[in-house]
Amino acid sequence: MRKYITLCLTLFFTTIIYSQVNKTIKGPVIKDFGQVYKIKNPDLLLNKDKKYKVIFDVYSDGENIKEINASINTIARFLNMHAQNNIKPENLNIVLILHGAATKNVLSEKAFKREFNISNPNIDLIKALKKENVQIYVCGQSFAYKGYKRNNLSKDVKLSLSALTALVKFQSEGYQLITFN
């Protein structure tokens, strides 16, 4: 009996410790998206006094159309984790370009419902990113290929001639490319 109680207590406290270590933290920039893990004393951080220019290239989407695109959520994570480590959001100039399978993620609520018979799970995330001054573009070539019209586009998204155009433009202006597809 004593061994059983000891085993149960050990498992209980291990579970509590493990769950506290692996808890994600919300915000502070985008509170409803982009939860991250707190890393104590990382060996590498961004310089808090420098301005950064980043372009996220997103062309894939998950298999479940009812879920937000994890690659888009990465941008909220990027903002939150760096803000938690004393990087001011105004020091992070971010552009998001979507194309390929991710094109549908920027459809307006009305167009998405018409096309897929469900609400667009990305619409609130896109609004939150736009509110934090993330520039959001969709590839015009992908948009046209999918048969979408400009009035199908979310009001928080701009239309680029192509993803290639956006990537060349922003990289020529010193933006660093991040792609997690």
Report yes or no: 172 and 152 within 8 Å, Cβ to Cβ: no
Residue 7's pLDDT band (boundaries 50, 70, 90)? very low
The arithmetic mean of pLDDT across residues 123-134, rounded, is 97
- What is the number of domains present in the chain? 1
pLDDT at 1 over 90: no
pLDDT for res 13: 54
Provide the sign of the torsion angle of the four alpha carbons 23, 29, 32, 35, taken in this order: negative
Report yes or no: 100 and 59 within 8 Å, Cβ to Cβ: yes
Report yes or no: 50 and 91 within 8 Å, Cβ to Cβ: yes
- List the CATH number of the domain containing 134: 3.40.1260.10
The arithmetic mean of pLDDT across residues 85-107, rounded, is 96
Domain assignment present for 109: yes
pLDDT for res 63: 86
The arithmetic mean of pLDDT across residues 142-160, rounded, is 97
Q: What is the pLDDT of residues 42-70, one digit of tens each?
A: 999 999 999 999 999 999 998 899 999 99
Domain assignment present for 9: no
pLDDT for res 19: 45
pLDDT at 25 over 80: yes
Range of the domain at 45: 26-178
- Which residue, among 128, 112, 35, has the nearest Cα to 77 in the 3D structure? 35
